[in-house]
């Protein structure tokens, strides 16, 4: 056991500012948390998109939300690259489908292929043309600062993963759908989007509204006792 008295911050060398959000009474907190969970529970990964346009403002809001993620040493080691250019989208589709043809037909991965069977995915990635936006999250192993100094980043995968989670949640809050698409390998995205070698493509997100006749696999979430163990 440690002392159960409120902690007091110590004197600082670097700038600190007060962080004193109004205390939310726990009844309100639980109600809000429950609503937030129910909202997130409505989210599904979508592979059938409407071509209806989505304003750039929605992508900007989602990336602002991603940008609030915690990150190793606060280095924020991500770049989101967005395009609605049909020519670029179809280049991405062609390259992704070439990778996926190999994945589905030329690689001996029986366990992986059978794990994917319930999703009924295949090498056809029409959504890469149809969704009004493609957004690629890139993970920065190093970041070149404006003064030219190259800074190493820490916990890059964790940091960018959390940022992508915020991005997905923000899109969902706007009624938009996406998919965490990861054609394998994804290095073609660095060429298409002309990104530096210290950045690796992390997730390719088609973004838009679900098609009117969209369907998703009939999946359920794992029960809480499998996700949470209290000791």
Q: Note whether 133 and 206 are within 8 A (CB).
A: yes
Distance CA 160, CA 201 (A): 11
Largest CA distance in the chain: 62
Nearest to 142 by CA among 204, 81, 200, 69: 200
Q: Note whether 129 and 93 are within 8 A (CB).
A: yes
Residue 181 is a binding residue for ligand IYR (CB under 6 A): yes
Q: Which of 59, 77, 100, 178 binds ligand IYR (CB under 6 A)?
A: 100
Residue 116 is a binding residue for ligand IYR (CB under 6 A): yes
- Work out the number of other CB atoms within 10 angstroms of the CB of residue 29: 11
Residue 157 is a binding residue for ligand IYR (CB under 6 A): no
Q: Shortest Cβ distance from residue 94 to ligand IYR (Å)?
A: 15
- With CB atoms as reference, the residue minimizing the distance to ligand IYR is 121
Q: State the number of binding residues for ligand IYR (CB under 6 A).
A: 9
- Name which of 68 and 182 has its Cβ closer to ligand IYR: 182
Residue 187 is a binding residue for ligand IYR (CB under 6 A): no
Q: Which spans of this chain sit near ligand IYR (rule: CB under 6 A)?
A: 100, 103, 116, 119, 121, 181-184
């Amino acid at each position: 056991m440690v002392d159960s008295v409120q902690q007091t911050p110590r004197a600082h060398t670097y700038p600190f500012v007060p962080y004193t959000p109004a205390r939310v009474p726990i009844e309100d907190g639980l109600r809000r948390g429950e609503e937030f969970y129910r909202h997130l529970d409505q989210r599904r990964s979508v592979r059938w998109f409407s071509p209806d346009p989505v304003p750039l403002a929605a992508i900007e809001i989602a990336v602002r939300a991603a940008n609030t993620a915690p990150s190793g040493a606060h280095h924020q080691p991500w770049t989101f690259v967005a395009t609605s250019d049909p020519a670029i989208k179809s280049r991405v589709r062609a390259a992704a489908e070439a990778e996926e043809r190999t994945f589905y037909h030329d690689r001996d991965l029986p366990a992986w292929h059978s794990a994917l069977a319930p999703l009924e995915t295949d090498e056809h990635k029409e959504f890469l043309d149809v969704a009004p936006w493609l957004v690629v999250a890139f993970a920065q192993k190093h970041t070149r600062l404006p003064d030219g100094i190259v800074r190493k980043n820490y916990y890059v995968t964790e940091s960018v993963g959390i940022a992508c989670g915020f991005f997905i949640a923000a899109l969902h809050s706007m009624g938009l759908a996406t998919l965490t698409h990861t054609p394998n390998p994804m290095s073609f995205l660095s060429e298409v989007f002309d990104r530096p070698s210290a950045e690796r493509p992390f997730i390719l997100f088609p973004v838009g509204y679900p098609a009117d006749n969209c369907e998703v696999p009939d999946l359920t979430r794992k029960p809480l006792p499998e996700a949470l163990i209290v000791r």
